[in-house]
Amino acid sequence: MTTENTKTTVDVTEKEIKISRVFDAPPELVWEATTNPEHVTKWWGPNGFSMTIETMDLRVGGVWKHVLHGPDGTDYPNKSVFKEITKPHRIVYSHGGGKKGAPGVNFVATWTFDPLEGNKTKVTIHQVFSTKEDLETVVKIYGAIEGGKQCLGRLGEKLASMPFVIERTFDAPSAMVWKAITDCEQMKEWYFSELKAFKAEVGFETQVDVKHNNTVYPHLWKVTEVAPGKKLSYSWKYAGHVGDSLVTFELFDEGGKTRVKLTHAGLESFLPEAHPQYARGNFALGWTSLIGTHLKEFLESIAAPDRDFVISREFDAPQELVWKAWTNSKHMTKWWGPRDFTNPVCDLDVRVGGAYHITMRSPDGIEYPMEGTFLEIREPERLVMSMDCSGHPDSWHDLVQPQRDKSKKPVVDMVQTVTFDKIGARTKLTVRTRFASTAIRDAMLKVGMNEGWSQSLDRLGESLVKL
């Protein structure tokens, strides 16, 4: 049996209940709301219920004991044992409990947190019972289905009022990460290029005028807390607009790597219902891009710059036109690749998660297929994509990776970041390709990558003139 409303889907079989709902929040935030006792007590249980947590030991083998308090005063003691924890994607626990004088409830519950496009998360509660009778008991006596739907509804309300949280672990020492988030010149590289000054000193104030979609947003920051190497907080407001929020960076040393936790609290103060440009989802997209992509790439570039190949070119063409030439297959097929190469296949699905397939054909008829996925799209300023060249001819692989076992076809993959910087009526295009190792990058240079890209950008310039 399957039922659904506009937000919640329920699927029931003889021994299983599945309840799913999509939330307008990233998995990290939903995980925080689901695993932090401070938040869990605010939403767990059906409408009208409250909750007391005795212990919540979130580790495999850890015990979670709590009591649900019904609106009629009835208590429902519960005890669960965590069997599996994979942050921020999955939790499995065995559960036992029920009200005094009624049959106990025992099942195994699996919570999954599946990321969706647009920083959304699909939460699914999957309960498996030993017998059909056990399932019928929780449905008839405890109202498990309706209770589960109401519980997820309350979770949605809680998420809407929670600070935005994102965590990422970087392969860089904490001192390097601290400098990246506090040194003005480094912050310009990955954060806001418009930043004029910044000091990690309590009381320091600055304004950052960020332009987006032809509108300037004056950001007002004031540093409120500094624990060198560990924590940085500053207030975040907009000149001429209501609202005051707080941004906090926390750094945790994890054996040479650094975990960064970014918390942005007070987003609701910007009144997003009346001013959709300040909607929570926009902040989620922005922070996910800044922390998850830009900061990561910046730290990698200063930690291992010898893995990158970078080429730039200025074109006498507007930013939007250069973007179109790169993202429209009808145009790209005319310039992609070295001089005299053609592209019999050029399919582009330009969206986050979308795939592309390009096959270059040399003048002597040899084909060089490549494919990948668009990882980030910020029109008309930035593209990030994976690139897999494993479909190239064996002779090419022999040149690029002679150290590999020839019995296994080698894979040359990379991440490519393309930026389109507006310079008046002109556009500066920069292509940064990150390889898995310095050896692979050097091998690619030996087979003519630099000359190939130079010719390709020559062809792009010629194509832009025609456009």
CATH code (residue 75): 3.30.530.20
In total, how many domains does the chain have? 3
Q: Which helix (H) or strand (E) holds 19?
A: strand 16-23
Confidence band of 94 (pLDDT split at 50, 70, 90): very high
279 and 311: one domain?
no
Span 379-427, pLDDT tens digits: 898 898 888 887 777 666 666 664 444 444 444 568 888 999 988 899 9
CA dist 447 and 442 (Å) reads: 9
What b/e string do you get for 108-147 counting C-beta neighbours within 10 Å, with b at 16 or more? ebbbbbeeeeebbbbbbbbbebeeeebbebbeeebebbeb
Distance CA 26, CA 88 (A): 10
Are both 135 and 192 inside the same structural domain?
Answer: no
Asked whether 7 and 1 are in contact (CB, 8 A), the reply is no
Full-model pTM: 0.59
* Rounded average pLDDT over 115-123: 86
pLDDT at 409: 46
HSE of 176 in the Cβ direction (CA atoms, 13 Å)?
18
Do 149 and 27 lie in one domain? The reply is yes
Clarify whether residues 178 and 249 are in a common domain.
Answer: yes
Boundary (domain end) residue, out of 255, 274, 302: 302
Task: Clarify whether residues 122 and 250 are in a common domain.
Answer: no
Tell me the pLDDT tens digit for each residue of 124-154.
999 999 888 888 888 887 888 999 999 999 9
Q: Which domain holds residue 348?
A: 305-466
Co-location of 297 and 314 in the same domain: no
Average pLDDT estimate for 323-332 = 95
Is 168 found in the same domain as 136?
no
Q: Are residues 134 and 12 part of one domain?
A: yes
CA distance 145 to 17: 8
Q: How many CA atoms lie within 13 A of 62 on its CB side?
A: 13
Position 4 scores a pLDDT of 44
Q: Do both 118 and 182 map to the same domain?
A: no
**Closest-CA residue to 466 (of 349, 373, 334):** 334
Chain-centroid distance, C-alpha 241:
28
The domain boundary residue, chosen from 129, 161, 193: 161
Is residue 291 located within the same domain as residue 324?
no
Q: Are residues 276 and 132 in the same domain?
A: no
The predicted structure's pLDDT at residue 231: 97
Mean of pLDDT over the chain: 88
Instruction: Please give the residue that has the higher pLDDT: either 375 or 86.
Output: 86
Asked if pLDDT for residue 162 goes beyond 60, the answer is: yes
Sheet holding 342-348, edge to edge: 308-315, 426-435, 413-423, 382-388, 367-378, 355-361, 342-348
**Whether residues 33 and 171 fall in one domain:** no
Q: Among residues 302, 331, 362, which one ends one of the domains?
A: 302
